[in-house]
Structure 1
């Protein structure tokens, strides 16, 4: 058992692939007059955290030195730099965990999520937020309204991912949307699409329990694909949901699974929009002829950009998206390793880890 104290900076560290440990690190200091010091209250476990733990890297981001995990966090500001004006000690905030350079063409065009100099929490070599205290720029801290809990605040990060995906899909009132994958981001895509006014939102997943949850949460319809071709599953989905032969206005893949992507391009209508939000294998086979013949607009979606975090907070504050329903449970910081095992095993939707000073 590892004990933590009220001023502890106990951190959950990935030493190397399959090797995690608790480590008491020095409490960080504010180095920029525009930065704040945040006591982390709650952190959600993301699939990328589990992937780094299991595989030691994602794409070109390889863990070469010990790294603190976690990036879905909310906390309380305990100190501010001399030029901070937007927040103050005691404010409860959702943390946007990626900080761009603010000067490159991507940043200046409003697409800071594409900044080549992005410093993103728990992406090598940057430490994450599964720790006692964390420093952040004030403009990437979003105050939570009094009626929004810190637990909800920890889910603003995956909700902002969903907001960005739905923006990429250009969802309009009355449209039909199919979301492939009913993990946390897929479920939140369903909820955001509903908030945008979509009349039909279909959640598709191979796990029946997740589809059932999706229809109780935000989806209007559920679909469980069979072991069949993408074209066959698409035909059955369109028939069962009542979309006819025309197809869906927009299809979002939040799974990264090759069969889902193959099905998606047969589900989307002529002239429709397809968005790839889930990450999977580096190279896949997909029906390129369907993409061409139907003149599908295909887009990628990466993290979140300007305004996405603010909108995510607004959606929770207004009650349009109830992220509380996704919280499976909260565990003590000292139980982080067990929580990671549970997420790896596919148990629950979203597990939160309380900060080491949260009692």
Structure 2
């Protein structure tokens, strides 16, 4: 079998290795596609060299089929379509209060242990989710990031006919917008990149470029002063933190989707004045995966338009170089077979 290895110094190699039998409690997957996540790009740029065990096979946004089944594994059959929820919560303790997806000792498969950018991948069976036979395996590589969006929207308690503002129209922002739309909300995306604006508009979304249009004034006018019921901060920049408290209406809910690695200024007075609510949302839980799988299987939201390009595993180095050259791209996939 072939497997990719991140070697450090913005370098991937592709090696030949022996196929391994799944251990007790594991399933061997024939990997179909693996998406490149923003975290994978951070790894490529050396930003996580202190965390990952170099050399390592990375990747966690994947789809595939069951290839072999280890001892003590029940409920799966060879050839079944599956995807992996790449969270290893075996270090969970009572102090995590039952929230295994954010357990203090949580390990992320594909970062803290080998991932899916290889032809065959052995994983703990408890991470698997079955797909329906009609599920498109190429689109199924979007299930993991879409599950992030499902979790964000579920945490927001978004309801039908509410107004949702998505700050940032990148891959996750667009997926959040799709899930919010599936709930019957009115969705407005704030994005400054012309290519992403065009893509979102082509998918039927209402988009505002805050460089050209005052976002708060626009939403105020559109809602007769009510402003937004829910704001998703996805862009991860100071400008979004500044506007999120302005564009939220009375008792609005703000969901922090972006990862802010450093402390940032936030207008806390607005939380007092409008009784705003700030909600943290990290990764996903089982129910978010199941919702994501159904959305991908139904495919009512043109998910294929999010896929910018696909290249074979042998060209993994080129994939990451292409991503660097195309900052407006959305989702790149590795064809692992």
State if a TM-score over 0.5 links the two structures: yes
Q: Distance in 2 between matches of 1:173 and 1:83?
A: 44
Question: Does structure 2 retain, via aligned residues, the 8 Å contact 1:45–1:352?
Answer: yes
Which 4+ stretches in 1 moved above 6 angstroms?
none
- The aligned residue for residue 22 of structure 2 is 30
Structure 1 residues 324 and 129 mapped into 2: Cα distance closer, same or farther (>3 Å)? Answer: same
Q: Distance in 2 between matches of 1:304 and 1:218?
A: 27
Q: CA deviation at 1:252?
A: 0.2
- The aligned residue for residue 228 of structure 2 is 248
C-alpha distance after superposition, 1:132-157 (max 9, x if no partner) = 21112323222221221110111100
- The aligned residue for residue 128 of structure 1 is 115
- The aligned residue for residue 207 of structure 2 is 222
Structure 1's unaligned 5+ residue stretches are 1-7
Q: CA deviation at 1:166?
A: 0.4
Structure 1 residues 25 and 284 mapped into 2: Cα distance closer, same or farther (>3 Å)? Answer: farther
Q: Distance in 1 between matches of 2:281 and 2:297?
A: 25
- The aligned residue for residue 129 of structure 2 is 142
Structure 1 residues 170 and 218 mapped into 2: Cα distance closer, same or farther (>3 Å)? Answer: farther
Q: CA deviation at 1:55?
A: 3.4
- The aligned residue for residue 190 of structure 2 is 204
Q: CA deviation at 1:127?
A: 1.8
Question: Does structure 1 retain, via aligned residues, the 8 Å contact 2:66–2:82?
Answer: yes
Q: CA deviation at 1:79?
A: 0.5
Q: CA deviation at 1:347?
A: 4.5
- The aligned residue for residue 40 of structure 2 is 49
- The aligned residue for residue 181 of structure 1 is 168
Q: Distance in 2 between matches of 1:281 and 1:120?
A: 18
Question: Does structure 2 retain, via aligned residues, the 8 Å contact 1:56–1:63?
Answer: no
C-alpha distance after superposition, 1:52-81 (max 9, x if no partner) = 1113318xx633532212110111111112
- The aligned residue for residue 269 of structure 1 is 249
Q: Distance in 1 between matches of 2:216 and 2:251?
A: 18
**Structure-1-length-normalised TM-score:** 0.87
Q: What is the aligned length?
A: 336
**Structure-2-length-normalised TM-score:** 0.92
> The residue matched to 1:116 in structure 2 has which SS?
coil
Structure 2's unaligned 5+ residue stretches are none
Q: Distance in 1 between matches of 2:145 and 2:320?
A: 17
Higher mean alpha-carbon deviation, 305-314 vs 77-86, is at 77-86
